[in-house]
Every structure is written in structure tokens, then in C-alpha cells.
């Protein structure tokens, strides 16, 4: 059973470009969470999705950031017109969902560097 997969592992963008980060949850998991981690800081919640639905996006900036989890394919976190402050590690996690199924397993992360 493959774990949570993310790609790319490293992404370099110039200011103003777009960044697309992909996350494939563990097999059988229908809940996906995105977190951002700045250097030497903790993880901050961004958005929580289930298949085709955004459950909670309260941690995601209103401007330039969007997320989706389509019926088929990986979840995508999209950052438009990147700025240097977007440089961070972006982790996704997945869980099966449901009562007693809260455990979140993390992917290896995408390290975004904005030049």
C-alpha cells in the first residue's frame, strides 16, 4: 500500500509565475489536507478537501491560492503569481475519514522556492 505521494518534490519558480503542487492520497483515503511549513516553524493548516468538495479553506489565503480534489486524479494546490513569501514546504496528508479514522498520514512534501 503506497503512502501519500506528492510531486514535484522540489519546485523553483520566479516571482509572478504559477506553482502547481500535486498530492495523491493513500489508497482508500478520501480526505486530503494541505499544510504549509515555513523554515524552522510548525505546520499551518491551509485547506481540507474530500472528493470534489472543499470542506474547510479557512487557512488558505483568499488571494492567489486555490485547491481542488477532483473525482479522478490527485489533489492540486495552485498558487498563482507567486511571491517570495510563498517559499515554504507544502505537505499534504490524507485520512480515511469517518469516526475513529482521524489519523493523518503525511506525504514527503513539496519544497517551493520563489526566486
Partner 1 sequence: GENVEQHPSTLSVQEGDSAVIKCTYSDSASNYFPWYKQELGKRPQLIIDIRSNVGEKKDQRIAVTLNKTAKHFSLHITETQPEDSAVYFCAARWALGQLTFGSGTQLTVLP
Binding site for partner 1 (CB under 8 A): 31, 33, 35, 41-45, 48, 55-56, 58-59, 91, 93, 95, 97, 100, 102-109
Taking the least distance from each CB to partner 1, the nearer of 17 and 104 is: 104
Taking the least distance from each CB to partner 1, the nearer of 14 and 42 is: 42
What's the rounded Cα separation, in Å, for the pair 63 and 81? Answer: 10
**Whether the Cβ atoms of residue 64 and residue 80 lie closer than 8 Å to each other:** yes
Taking the least distance from each CB to partner 1, the nearer of 10 and 15 is: 10
What's the rounded Cα separation, in Å, for the pair 3 and 95? Answer: 11
Amino acid at each position: 500500500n503506497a503512502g501519500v505521494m506528492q510531486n514535484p518534490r522540489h519546485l523553483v519558480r520566479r516571482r509572478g509565475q504559477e506553482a502547481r503542487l500535486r498530492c495523491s492520497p493513500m489508497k482508500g483515503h478520501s480526505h486530503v489536507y494541505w499544510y504549509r511549513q515555513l523554515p524552522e516553524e510548525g505546520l499551518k493548516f491551509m485547506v481540507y478537501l474530500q472528493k470534489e468538495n472543499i470542506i474547510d479553506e479557512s487557512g488558505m489565503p483568499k488571494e492567489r491560492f486555490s485547491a481542488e480534489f477532483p473525482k479522478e486524479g490527485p489533489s492540486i494546490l495552485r498558487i498563482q503569481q507567486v511571491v517570495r513569501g510563498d517559499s515554504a514546504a507544502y505537505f499534504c496528508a490524507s485520512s480515511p475519514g469517518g469516526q475513529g479514522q482521524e489519523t493523518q498520514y503525511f506525504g514527503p512534501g513539496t519544497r517551493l522556492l520563489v526566486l
